[in-house]
Amino acid sequence: MVLQQGPRLGGPIPKFREYHVWKTLYCLNNNSPIGRKKLATFLGIGEGSTRTILNLLQESGLIIINKNGVTLTPEGIECWNSAYMEMKALQISDITIGACDCIIRIPNMAFKVKYGCEERDLAIKAGASGATTLICSKGILIFPGSGYPVDSKVDNIIRNNFTIRDDDVIIIGTGRDLDIAEVGAVAAGLELLGGLHINRDLEGILSQRSTGNELLSLAFAIHDLVGGLPVCAKSRDNLGIRIESGTVIDNAYTGAVLEEVLNAGTTIRKIATSGPYKGIRVIVTPVELDNKIIAAIGVVDIRSMAGVNNLIRLRSDE
């Protein structure tokens, strides 16, 4: 996949994660109607990224945008309820290692928790220093896997701020600042919940004119499946997206190998000859619907890079 920059309309490259989409629903549930500028401030990202998220939610029928601001539709409220997490910034230094902590409560999901290390690893992957997981069993907050109860001081702090019920999950994200602690906790929580339940039926969403927003779900799913390797995708008649490290780094993207696959209608494996991944092995495959090639999606095998210099080159090219 020769990854060359496509034409831009101007402004910064949108950068956001699934966390930011969840935080958008969170903010709209608690503060709507809300304007895009104020929402961007809440999310801690640029207006371009915020606009991309709002376009995604609007295309999915989850929000309404009018002169008063942005509000959730009934479908949007249903989507939020399916990903509901209660969240507060609280310091619990007795069992955390970061300078700042963020606690989320997820109702009725204790059955999904194994040992707690899974949530910790997800939080670290999202950039946090770590995460501590607790579950409520028979009215007692315990460490999963061991059944050992949490210290009474920590128990009191949590219960003074949340109404705890049996089978609830508490995830305490920790990091160098509150924002990254929150990202870590929410990322782990979203994994427990199975991600955001946004309509992703291919026949109803994908077409040869699909935008990058409409390809996000599929691209992020593949990004996770291949262990975080860069993923690029575009429809036949529209610009696409480029994802690295769980973040959208380009939402107006195209490349020679993507176009080659769209024309040939077959999977292509080759070494990129130009663009930010020049010299790296790429694998691109077509997406077919109703016997028509409507999109192409590819993975960049950065593991094939020959040495550290290529990694430095890759980052500097961005």
Q: What CATH number did the domain enclosing 105 receive?
A: 3.30.1360.30
pLDDT at 209: 65
* Claim to verify: residue 144 and residue 112 sit in the same structural domain: yes
pLDDT confidence of residue 139: 94
Where among 193, 212, 231 does a domain terminate?
A: 193
Shared domain check, 131 and 212: no
CA 35/CA 51 separation, integer angstroms? 11
Q: In the sheet where 247-255 sits, what is the strand order?
A: 3-5, 247-255, 240-244, 231-235, 292-300, 281-289, 268-271
Round to whole Å and give the CA distance between 98 and 100: 5
Domain boundary among 28, 50, 83: 83
Cα–Cα distance, 235 to 223 (Å, whole number): 17
Question: Does the reported pTM lie above 0.75?
Answer: no
List the pLDDT tens digit at each of the 318 positions of the chain. Answer: 222 333 333 333 446 678 999 999 999 999 878 988 899 999 888 887 888 888 888 888 899 998 889 999 999 999 999 999 999 998 888 888 888 999 999 999 999 999 999 999 999 988 899 999 999 999 999 999 888 999 999 999 999 999 999 999 999 999 999 999 999 999 999 999 988 877 544 444 566 666 666 677 788 888 888 888 999 998 888 888 889 988 888 888 888 889 899 998 899 999 888 777 888 889 999 988 767 888 899 999 887 665 434 443 444 444
Q: Is residue 254 part of a domain?
A: yes
Q: What is the CATH number of the domain that holds 78?
A: 1.10.10.10
Backbone angles phi, psi at 11, to 5 degrees: 90, 170
Query: What pLDDT score was predicted for residue 44?
Result: 87
Residue 246 domain-assigned (yes or no)? yes
DSSP assignment of 166-208: TT-EEEEEEESSHHHHHHHHHHHHHHHHTS------HHHH--T
Whether 276 is covered by a domain: the verdict is yes
User: How many CB atoms lie under 10 A from the CB of residue 40?
Assistant: 19
14 in any annotated domain:
yes
Provide the residue range defining the domain that includes 31.
10-83
Tell me, yes or no, whether 3 lies in a domain. Answer: no
Residues 31, 144 within the same domain? no
14 and 106 fall within a common domain = no
Residue 5 resides in a domain: no
* pLDDT at residue 207, as a whole number: 65
Q: Which domain-ending residue is among 164, 193, 222?
A: 193
Q: CATH number, domain at 306? A: 3.30.450
Q: Are residues 178 and 92 in the same domain?
A: yes
The total domain count for the chain is 3
